[in-house]
Structure 1
C-alpha cells in the first residue's frame, strides 16, 4: 500500500457501464448472462485449486481470499423461477470451503473467508428464526469476517445485537454510529496476521441508504455516515498495521468503484448490496474489485501474492454451488433441524380470509383476479407508489376463505420475490402494458400483469385510455411503480424495468411476508373485487 491521500482517477470500465445506462443495470445483465451460460460450471473436483504451484524461486508469501455476499437466508438448495434444478445450499458451500482450505493447508497457503453482508431476509427459514440458523452456518464454516448489510437491521437492533453476540467472527461496520454519543455499532475493521507473516486488514463499510431500505424505525437510533467519509477516518489507521488492505463493503458496485477511485490504499474490494456477479475481477490501478452475486449461488476466490507494498492477483475463480458438490454432514444436519421446526411453524394459523383468493392459473394469466389485485394493492400501500404490477406467474395457487396458515401462503407464493420500486416515464408504462397484453395471448401467459393504481381499456393496438392514480396517463411524466425483483431483473421478458427504470429501490420485503403481515394485522381480511 502507498500513501493515503484521496485522489481522483478515471476508471477504465466506466465506458461500458455508462453506455448501458448505469452500473446497476449493466451488472444485472452481466450477472444474468453468466448464470445462464453456467460460469465455470461442472463437477467440482477434489482438487479445487486454481492458484499456480508456488515456485521454489518465488519467495513471496501467498494467501487465498474466499468470498460470498447477499446470502439472504438461502441455506437450503432452491430452484430459481423457470427452472427445476436446485442450486446453492449451505451444506454444499461448507464442503467446498473445507476442500479449498485443506488443499491450501497442504500448500502452506493460508485462507481467509469473508462475507459481504445481507445474511438476513429472503426465505421463511431466515425470517421465522430471525437469522439464527444463518449465523450458525457462518460459525460452522469458520468465517473470518463479515460486513453488516442493510437487511441485517430488518428484525430490529435487539435481534441484530443478539446475533452479533453469537458470532465467532468479527462483524464490521466502520460507518454506523449511535446517535447518542457517536459510538460504533460494530468493529470498524479486523486485522489478521497470517502464518506466513502477511498482515491483512479488513475494513467494513455499509450503505448509507440503509434507513431507506429497511424499516426506518429499526435504525432511528443510528447514523449511517457516507462510506467515503468513514474510509477517510479508518484507512490511515490501517496503513501502518496491514500489508494488504481489503475493503469489505455492502455499498454496491458503483460505490465500490468510487471508493477505489478515491483511495489508492485498497488492494482488494469485495462488495455486495447490488448482487452482481463479477465473473472476472475488475482491476484498476492495482485495486481489485469483485462480488459473487447472491443467495449462495457462487463462492468467489482470489489467489494473491504479497511483496512489500505490492499485491499481485495470481488467479481468480467463481465456483457455482451445484448438486455436484456433496453436503457437509454437520451443516446439513443443522439446517435440517431448523427446517423441521419450520414445518411446525408453517401450520400456524395467521388469521382469516373473508373470501377466496383466486390464484387459478387459467384465470390469473388471462384476466385480473382478486388475488392479483390484493397483492398489488398491498405493494402500492407499502411503498406509496403511483401503481403496482406483478407477473401472474408469481402466484401458484388459490387460498380458500376461512383460516389461513403460513404454509398456504408459501404454497401460493413459493418464490422469494422482494418488493422493489422503480420510476418509469409514462410512455414506458404504455409499452409495459402492451407487453402484458401480448403475454396474455401466449401459451404460458405468466407475463400477464396483475395491476393496482392503473386502469386501461384493451384494444388491438394495446392499452388505451390509460389512467394512473386516478388521472389520465401523461407520457412525459415520471411514475413510481412497485414491482418485484424478478421483474426488475428482466423476468418474463420485462427488460424495460432495468433498461429504462430510474432510481430502483429494493425494500427487502418479501411478497409472501408482506401478505402474511397483512392477514395477521387485518383479520378477517376482506377480499377485493377485481
Structure 2
C-alpha cells in the first residue's frame, strides 16, 4: 500500500514538472538602436522633418521623437503582461550631424537618459573625439544627469589617461548584470570589433583587446555569477550575408546568447545564427531608420532559451513623435543656434537650394563627391594670401567622410544643418579648437606621389572598401583597369587651372616622371593621417612642404589652413568650406546648385575617365 502511494506521488510530481516546463517559459524583450550618429531629427532634408504630424507623409526616416514613441509603446505593452524590456545601443551614437555641436551637454546622452536605456557601448566614431574628447563628452553628460552604464569590456586604457578617471567615476564599466523577476539574470558585455578599431585612428593611446580567449574569459565570468543570458553589445559588424567580425566572435567564443550588432550599418531582416552556441545576431541599420526588437522565450527550469521572434521596426512618418522628446530636441536647437550665430546662420537657415538630388555614389565619380572637393579647393585658394600664397592645384575628399546627400525635399532649400551633415566627422587634436569637424591641411606632393594618390582611389579602394574611394577637384585622370594588378592603372593625369573652379575647361597633362615639381594639395586631417597606411600598401605618398621638404608627421598640425587674420590658427573645418562655397556660389536667394554642372550628366563630371 505504501509503495503504491509513493508511485502515485512520484507520478504527480512528474506531471507537475512536465506541466511546469511549459508554464516556466518567460519572455524578455530586447530593443536595440545603433549607428544613429546623432540623427536626432531623422535622416533626410532638415526642413521636411515633422515628427508631430503624421498626415504629411514626410520622407524623413528616424528621429529621436519617433524612436521614443515606439520604445515607450512597446515597454508599456510588455509591462502590462509583466514582460521585462531591455533597451540598449551598440555604439556610434554621436558624430554625424549638426547635433555634434551639443558637446557641452551631448544630446545623445540626454536621449539615453530620458529614455532610460539599460546599457550602451562605444563605437569607433565616439573616438573621433579622441580619448580626451570622449572623456569630456561623458563627463559633461554626467554633470547633466547621464548615468546609463557605458559597457566597454575590451577597451584598454593606459595608466594616467583621462578616460580612466571617467571609468573610476563609474560611468564606464567592464560588464553589467541586470536581474529580472523569476530570478533571471542578463549579463551584458560591450565590445569594439577589429574592423571598427582599425577605423578609429585617433583612439590611441587607448587600445582594444580582440583576443578571443580574453572575451571568452569575460563570458565565463558572467556565467560564474549565475547569469542566464549573455548579451554582447558589439560594435564589430555583421553583413546581410552573415559574415563579419560579429559572426567571427560567435564562432570563436562559446556561451554568447545574443549579439546586438553595430558598425556595418546592416539592417537585418531576421536574426543571423552563428557559432557553436547558436548565437543570435541582429542589427538595426543606420541613422535610426529602424528599431530592432527581439522577443526571447527562456525556460527557468531548464535554464535555456527555447524560442525567439525578431522584428525590424521601421521608424518613419507613420509613427507619431513623442512630444516631450521633440521638445527636448528643439531646446537644443536654441542652444546650437546661439553657438553658430557668428557664422551668420541658424540650423534652419536656407543657405542654398537644389531642384535635384546631389548624391554620393559608391566607388565612382559623383556629383556630391565633386561638389565637396570643389568647395575645398575653391575656399582654400581664396585663403592663399593668409597662408603660403599659393592657390590649390587639387583637393581630395574621401567618400568615408561624406555622410549625407543633398536632396531638394519639399522646399528645395538646403539648410545649414543639411550642409553640416554632409561633412560632419572628426575633431582637431588642438584642444583650443573645440568645434567639431576635421581641419583642412595644406601639403605638396611630387608627380609620382600624385599618381599614387589617384591609384589608391581607383585600384586600392575597390579592394579595401568604398569609404577609401577619393573624390577629386582639379584633376583629370585616365585609368586603364588592365594595369590595376601592377598598381599602374593610372595612365595619365592632367591639372585644371586653379581658377577653373568647376573643372570644365581644358586640363594640362603633367609629367608623371618629374621628381622635382611639387603640386599643392588640400585634404582633411584624416586623409593626411591615412597616407601612411597607403604607403604601407606599396603606394608611396610622402607629404611635403612648398619647398619640397618632407613633413615630419609630428609637425602635421603646422600644415593647417588658417581661415582668419586673427592671432593664432583659426582652423578651416571641412564642413565650413562647403558652407562658404554654397553660400557664395549658389545662394538660396538665387537659382541654387545648377543641374547643368552637378546633375547626372553635368559639365562638372568627367574627371575620371576609363580606358578599354
Closer, same or farther: CA 266–329 of 1 in aligned 2, 3 Å: same
Q: 1:347 aligns with which of 341, 346, 355?
A: 341
1:228, 1:376 → 2: CA distance? 49
Q: 1:162 aligns with which of 91, 116, 139?
A: 139
What is the TM-score when the length of structure 1 is the normalising length? 0.61
Higher-strand-fraction structure: 1
Q: 2:199 aligns with which of 213, 218, 241?
A: 213
- Establish whether residue 290 from structure 1 lines up as the match of residue 285 from structure 2: no
Number of aligned residues: 394
8 Å contact from structure 2 (residues 101, 336) kept in 1? no
1:311, 1:326 → 2: CA distance? 34
Q: Aligned residue for 1:199?
A: 185
Q: Aligned residue for 2:154?
A: 175
Per the TM alignment, residue 519 of structure 1 is displaced from its structure 2 partner at its CA by: 4.1
2:37, 2:421 → 1: CA distance? 15
- Alignment of structure 1 residues 499-510 onto 2, 5 Å: none
- Establish whether residue 328 from structure 1 lines up as the match of residue 319 from structure 2: no
Q: Aligned residue for 1:104?
A: 78
1:202 is paired with a residue whose SS is strand
- Establish whether residue 455 from structure 1 lines up as the match of residue 457 from structure 2: no
Deviations 1:77-106 (A, max 9, x none): 33169x961111111111111110111111
Q: 1:415 aligns with which of 403, 406, 422?
A: 422
Q: 1:136 aligns with which of 110, 121, 145?
A: 110
Deviations 1:265-295 (A, max 9, x none): 0111111112111111101352101111121
1:91, 1:267 → 2: CA distance? 31
Q: What is the root-mean-square deviation of aligned Cα atoms in Å?
A: 5.0
8 Å contact from structure 1 (residues 373, 450) kept in 2? no
8 Å contact from structure 1 (residues 372, 450) kept in 2? no
8 Å contact from structure 2 (residues 234, 262) kept in 1? yes
2:25, 2:353 → 1: CA distance? 62
8 Å contact from structure 1 (residues 174, 189) kept in 2? yes
Q: 1:248 aligns with which of 233, 248, 251?
A: 233
Closer, same or farther: CA 517–198 of 1 in aligned 2, 3 Å: farther
Per the TM alignment, residue 229 of structure 1 is displaced from its structure 2 partner at its CA by: 4.6
8 Å contact from structure 1 (residues 72, 121) kept in 2? yes
8 Å contact from structure 2 (residues 44, 60) kept in 1? yes
Q: Aligned residue for 1:17?
A: none
1:264, 1:137 → 2: CA distance? 34
Q: Aligned residue for 1:75?
A: 40
Q: Aligned residue for 1:187?
A: 173
Q: Aligned residue for 1:429?
A: 458
Q: Aligned residue for 2:304?
A: 310
Closer, same or farther: CA 149–60 of 1 in aligned 2, 3 Å: same
Q: Aligned residue for 1:236?
A: 220
- Establish whether residue 275 from structure 1 lines up as the match of residue 265 from structure 2: yes
- Establish whether residue 372 from structure 1 lines up as the match of residue 406 from structure 2: no
1:372, 1:210 → 2: CA distance? 30
Per the TM alignment, residue 452 of structure 1 is displaced from its structure 2 partner at its CA by: 3.9
Per the TM alignment, residue 127 of structure 1 is displaced from its structure 2 partner at its CA by: 3.2
Closer, same or farther: CA 257–368 of 1 in aligned 2, 3 Å: closer
8 Å contact from structure 2 (residues 260, 282) kept in 1? yes
In structure 1, stretches of 5+ residues that fail to align are: 1-54, 352-356, 379-384, 398-406, 433-448, 474-481, 484-515
Per the TM alignment, residue 248 of structure 1 is displaced from its structure 2 partner at its CA by: 1.0
Closer, same or farther: CA 170–61 of 1 in aligned 2, 3 Å: same
Q: Aligned residue for 1:86?
A: 60
Structure with the larger RCO, 1 or 2 (CA within 8 Å, 6+ apart): 1
In our comparison, the structure showing a higher alpha carbon Rg is 2
2:23 is paired with a residue whose SS is coil
Q: 2:313 aligns with which of 319, 322, 328?
A: 319
What is the TM-score when the length of structure 2 is the normalising length? 0.54
8 Å contact from structure 1 (residues 305, 313) kept in 2? yes
Closer, same or farther: CA 410–470 of 1 in aligned 2, 3 Å: farther
In structure 2, stretches of 5+ residues that fail to align are: 1-19, 49-57, 239-243, 346-350, 359-365, 381-393, 409-413, 427-437, 439-451, 462-469, 480-489, 496-508, 514-522, 525-559, 582-603, 605-612
2:140, 2:572 → 1: CA distance? 35
8 Å contact from structure 1 (residues 121, 127) kept in 2? no
1:263, 1:456 → 2: CA distance? 47
Per the TM alignment, residue 180 of structure 1 is displaced from its structure 2 partner at its CA by: 1.5
8 Å contact from structure 2 (residues 106, 141) kept in 1? no
1:154 is paired with a residue whose SS is helix
1:303 is paired with a residue whose SS is strand
